[in-house]
Structure 1
Amino acid sequence: MTDSAPIRPEARAPRGFADRRGRDLMAERRIVEAVAPVYERWGFEPLETPAFEYADALGKFLPDADRPNAGVFALQDDDEQWMALRYDLTAPLARYAAENWETLPKPFRRYAFGPVWRNEKPGPGRFRQFVQCDADTVGSDRPEADAEIIAMAAEGLAAAGLEPGQAIVRVSSRQLVNGVLEAAGVSDPSQTLAVLRAVDKLDRLGLEGVRLLLGEGRLDESGDFTKGAGLSAPGAQAVLDFLAVGAEGGDDVLGALDAVVGATASGRAGLESLMRIQSALKAMGVGPDRAVIDPSIVRGLEYYTGAVFEAELTLPVTDDKGRPVRFGSIGGGGRYDDLVARFTGERVPATGFSFGVSRLAAALAASGRTASVARGPVVVIAFSEDDMAHYFAAAAELRAAGVPAEVYLGRAGMKAQMKYADRRDAPAVILLGGDEIAAGQVTIKDLDAGRAAAQGLSDNAAWKAERPGQVTVSRDQMAGLIRAILSAG
């Protein structure tokens, strides 16, 4: 009898889930580290909720089959209750607020960040797990609460690295759309949702594409047909006239909107809310380079009930081939006054803003704003087993001076160690041979200077001959010179 061959699983990540290394993770961490103090200065406290929620707490993902896995990743607990990984950070907040409402300060102001999971078909740039960062106020129906969230979102984006004019928060109200629908005689919920989804595609399809989706439907380039909202021609035109205000209204956009929807109860309510939001934003010093009224912003999620807003990257960016691209939305939010009521039966007003941390990091990278991302560590080259104590002492001195450093702990030779340092994106390496140790010196090779010089050298012989950026100094000068290299980089 012979032993069977061992079973070796294929090393692969599940579809839609990505492995990420240092630079990407550090870029995201620095965004959170920059935004969190902004939210705390505005009086928002951090809150962490579990990765899992009971499936019936996730709103539109209520189980309607034996296994409620439409859109979420679900499993059955040992008490036979279905749990699911959170789809976003808002539904857990609604559950938390309902569960703890009696003891919470009201309004309750919280921010949160962490991974969320979506059981959807993955695609290019579309993952099943990603990190979100949210800020919400629960318990205030004042439009000024919406304005505060908008102003804080603009400040958070600036703290993350986007200057005024490079990202803008566009603000509207679902009540305005309701006013248009009211004037057009639309009351069926499914038709209302179809209209909202059509309007939400304005930036991608233009007015003509939206016109088709408001009517019978649209056939795209691939031959796929999307069923439309089924509005009459006058009803569709009323929606298109409303959307045109965003392009033509200018500073008097609210006045132009009043002419379109002011005759309806919903439209008047939406206009009053936006006027108060605009007034509060002005009082907080938020100008049109950071936030504007734009009626085309409706947001597709069903639970928004009032003001809605979307943050858009306006800075020109290019793809990896240098072609200009429109990056689009980097976050959004709005008022959702019915979400907590799912648990309590009582309406609790709420408003909030959310952005995808990974998407914002990609936006910053696309705009060339990644300078704040930390570099790799300084690498201390290991020449001899007998001198390991000297190498560790040098690394410890650098770390004590606030410089990330490590001793190479493989068993490769000098050439491979230098390649290792380059792959770590190390700014420099420390060379401690026998002569340096005996003289109380170190040799520092400035890899940043070497990389810059190599770009201007035509052949490898010149590179070797010039040995750019290498200097020998006394040991007590080591940390200061390394800090200078880091500052220059």
Structure 2
Amino acid sequence: MAADRAYIAGGRVGAPRAALAGLCARIMALFEAAGCMRVEPAALHSADALLDVYGEDVRARAFTVDEPGGGALFLRPDFTVPVLQLHLSARAEPARYSYLGPVWRRQAPGSARPTEYLQAGLEIFGEEAAEADAEIFALIARALAEGGVEAPEIVTGDLGVAAAMLDAAPIPDARRAALKRHFWRPHRFAALLRRFSAPAPPPSPRRAALLAAADDPAEIAALAHAEGALVGARGLDEIAARVEALAEDSREAPLPADLARALDAAFAVDAPAADAHARLSDLARGAGLDIGPALDRFARRLDALAARGFDAHALPFRASTARTLEYYDGFVFEMAAPGRPDLPPLAGGGRYDGIAAALGADHAAPAVGGIVRPEALMAAGGGRPC
């Protein structure tokens, strides 16, 4: 029905709309009381660079349109990247921002998930990482309490530890980069790690011919044309570059078995945070990997969370927790409604220090944020009155 909205029947008119507006007002007041300046990014953005920042999952779900006489535009799938763009244009650090408004994402055919829903959130730039991580986490938890969900199901992770292990491991750069691209897809990561750890199977005759021609672009072109007309958007130069990369990879030795086992075990860690920290430390030490700075950041964050009243050492930690947005590169978390598998996570967030450089800044910048889905929160909390 036209009056319905995400997770709320009749949420665009009358009492349900008023209740949602009241919840949003309380959440935004909480964020603004924490020193966040409210901003309102545009809904439409150029698709040239930003969609690459979001990664495969969101890129495939973005609503795109063609601007007459211009390039492709897309409706924002979240607020973090548009807010960071505003921040970079202002050139002010440290800074804190809050926001509220709709975002849009395509859903699979037959899905009951909404294509438009509200996000309320905040971003902190340029502040000490452990304290900022803990403050974001605490503010998001308080926002859920405003909606009547005072004991959400929580899971945390730390992509910084995962990246540190890969950076410290004696892995060829191309393979390291490939593994990092799949942090956000644990099954693909595990499959790729298995492939890199095993001897390469004998190539098919066609593949063998391509690999043998890796240093001869003319021969690659001849082999491509022999297969018929080119299909897809890749040109011969891109095909030649890909063949060269495949040939280089085929000459690499398998990863040492003990290193592969340590990496696999590290990405499978699922335990209370203190136990997870100890387990990751033991695995890194056993594999000869120096990840001390990443473990120190992990420990400082637990201390900062404990100082804010959380049982930080008991917080659930799952190394494979990565959310679906590929710009996260450090602490990540999600909070869900207990007993409501029909609802998406009510809130989540994390650290994304590297994204500023990806958007053209001359250096990485400390950045962390978190979002709440007010409509899902209201549905989970029973519509607490204004």
Calculate the TM-score normalised by the size of structure 1: 0.55
Counterparts of 1:19 and 1:81 in 2: how far apart (Å)?
37
Structure-1 residue corresponding to 2:34: 42
Gaps of 5+ in 1: 1-10, 63-68, 201-209, 217-229, 318-324, 375-489
Alpha-carbon displacement from aligned partner over 1:252-274 (angstroms, at most 9, x marks no partner): 43222211235534x32221111
The alignment status of 1:138 with 2:125, answered yes or no, reads yes
Structure-2 residue corresponding to 1:452: none
Q: 1:93 aligns with which of 83, 86, 106?
A: 83
Q: CA deviation at 1:351?
A: 0.7
Q: 1:161 aligns with which of 144, 148, 165?
A: 148
The alignment status of 1:359 with 2:351, answered yes or no, reads no
Instruction: Answer yes or no: is the 8 Å Cα contact 2:106–2:115 preserved in 1.
Output: yes
Instruction: Answer yes or no: is the 8 Å Cα contact 2:344–2:376 preserved in 1.
Output: no
Q: Answer with 1 or 2: which has the greater Rg.
A: 1
Structure with higher RCO (Cα < 8 A, 6+ apart): 2
The alignment status of 1:189 with 2:177, answered yes or no, reads yes
Letter in 2 for 1:254: H
Q: CA deviation at 1:116?
A: 0.9
Q: Residues 53 and 37 (structure 1 numbering): CA distance in 2 closer, same or farther, change over 3 Å?
A: same
Instruction: Answer yes or no: is the 8 Å Cα contact 1:306–1:336 preserved in 2.
Output: yes
The alignment status of 1:264 with 2:264, answered yes or no, reads no
Q: CA deviation at 1:294?
A: 4.1
Spell out the pairing of 1:237-276 with structure 2 (5 A cutoff).
237-243=261-267, 245-247=269-271, 251-262=274-285, 263-265=288-290, 267-276=291-300
Instruction: Answer yes or no: is the 8 Å Cα contact 2:149–2:380 preserved in 1.
Output: no
Letter in 2 for 1:88: D
Please state whether the residue corresponding to 1:329 is helix, strand or coil: coil
Q: CA deviation at 1:83?
A: 2.9
Counterparts of 2:77 and 2:255 in 1: how far apart (Å)?
32
Structure-2 residue corresponding to 1:470: none
Q: 1:337 aligns with which of 337, 345, 353?
A: 353
Counterparts of 2:302 and 2:312 in 1: how far apart (Å)?
10
Counterparts of 2:49 and 2:80 in 1: how far apart (Å)?
11
Q: Residues 77 and 304 (structure 1 numbering): CA distance in 2 closer, same or farther, change over 3 Å?
A: same
Instruction: Answer yes or no: is the 8 Å Cα contact 2:97–2:122 preserved in 1.
Output: yes
Counterparts of 2:259 and 2:343 in 1: how far apart (Å)?
32
Q: CA deviation at 1:293?
A: 4.3
Spell out the pairing of 1:78-477 with structure 2 (5 A cutoff).
80-101=70-91, 104=92, 106-163=93-150, 166-181=151-166, 182-183=168-169, 185=171, 187-198=175-186, 215=194, 237-243=261-267, 245-247=269-271, 251-262=274-285, 263-265=288-290, 267-288=291-312, 291-313=315-337, 315-317=338-340, 325=341, 329-341=345-357, 342-364=359-381, 369-370=382-383, 372-373=384-385
Q: Residues 159 and 12 (structure 1 numbering): CA distance in 2 closer, same or farther, change over 3 Å?
A: closer
| Aligned-residue RMSD, C-alpha | 3.7
Q: CA deviation at 1:348?
A: 2.2
Q: 1:30 aligns with which of 22, 25, 29?
A: 22
Instruction: Answer yes or no: is the 8 Å Cα contact 1:246–1:295 preserved in 2.
Output: yes
Alpha-carbon displacement from aligned partner over 1:264-301 (angstroms, at most 9, x marks no partner): 34x32221111111111122222349955443423343
Letter in 1 for 2:103: V
Gaps of 5+ in 2: 196-253
Q: Residues 275 and 238 (structure 1 numbering): CA distance in 2 closer, same or farther, change over 3 Å?
A: same
Letter in 2 for 1:31: L
Instruction: Answer yes or no: is the 8 Å Cα contact 1:173–1:306 preserved in 2.
Output: yes
Counterparts of 1:243 and 1:348 in 2: how far apart (Å)?
26
Q: CA deviation at 1:79?
A: 5.5
Instruction: Answer yes or no: is the 8 Å Cα contact 2:23–2:374 preserved in 1.
Output: yes
Please state whether the residue corresponding to 2:82 is helix, strand or coil: helix
Instruction: Answer yes or no: is the 8 Å Cα contact 1:180–1:238 preserved in 2.
Output: no
Please state whether the residue corresponding to 1:345 is helix, strand or coil: coil
Letter in 2 for 1:256: R
Please state whether the residue corresponding to 2:333 is helix, strand or coil: strand
Letter in 2 for 1:190: A
Letter in 1 for 2:63: F
Calculate the TM-score normalised by the size of structure 2: 0.69
Q: Residues 240 and 188 (structure 1 numbering): CA distance in 2 closer, same or farther, change over 3 Å?
A: closer
Counterparts of 1:84 and 1:126 in 2: how far apart (Å)?
19
Please state whether the residue corresponding to 1:344 is helix, strand or coil: coil
